[in-house]
Amino acid sequence: MQNGQGGGLVRPVLLVDVDGPLNPYAAKPHRRPEGYQTHRLVTPRWEAAERRRLAERGLPNKPVKPLRVWLNPTHGPALNALPFDLVWATTWEEEANAFVAPVLGLPELPFIAWSSPRAEPGDGVFWKTPQVVAWAQGRAFAWIDDEITEADRVWAKEHHSGPALLHRVDPRCGLTHNDFAALTAWAISLR
């Protein structure tokens, strides 16, 4: 893919969701997938949401229970080895840099700051999809998320002027060898 300035190549972007692709939260409870390590995290966003929930239940002084996150330390090097520029596309936003990136050995990454309140596009389109496409501004991108459906692929095709791969990752398994192979093959196909 040419960048138009001096004929250099512009790498596609890989937009990375945390919960689902990196944290297989839907795996059976107490059956952490092989290769994953358990982390108990209290991020500022999680703590604020939990404090609101506890206050609504009449328990404002109850301690906040940490969020259980399963992360596979091999995913950081594997993501870094892909022919992409990495960007967080997660509701963790900047907190992914503070809490997830260090565990995986990833550098601080740019992130998509989601609008609030979230617009619901309708027709089965995931709320992130229009914002992902707007953020990409026509640049080639792949996006890994557990909530991507065919409706999102159709929407992106109709609204994005560049190449795009919307790749669903099973939240029971997290990223697998097949997912990395599909991402690599797609990026190579752009050359």
Count of structural domains within the chain:
1
pTM for this structure?
0.91
Q: Which domain holds residue 79?
A: 13-28+72-189
**Per-residue model confidence as pLDDT tens digits over 156-174:** 999 999 999 999 999 999 9
| Strand ordering across the sheet containing 164-168 | 85-88, 13-16, 141-145, 164-168
In a domain, 67, yes or no: no
The pLDDT value given to residue 30:
75
Q: What is the CATH number of the domain that holds 90?
A: 3.40.50
Residue 85 has a CB neighbour count (10 Å cut-off) of 15
In a domain, 164, yes or no: yes
In a domain, 95, yes or no: yes
Q: How many separate helices (H) and strands (E) can be counted in the chain?
A: 7, 6
The pLDDT value given to residue 9:
65
- What span, in angstroms and rounded, lies between the C-alpha atoms of 19 and 145? 8
Question: Which residues of the chain register pLDDT less than 50?
Answer: 1-7
Contact of 144 with 15, CB cutoff 8 Å: yes
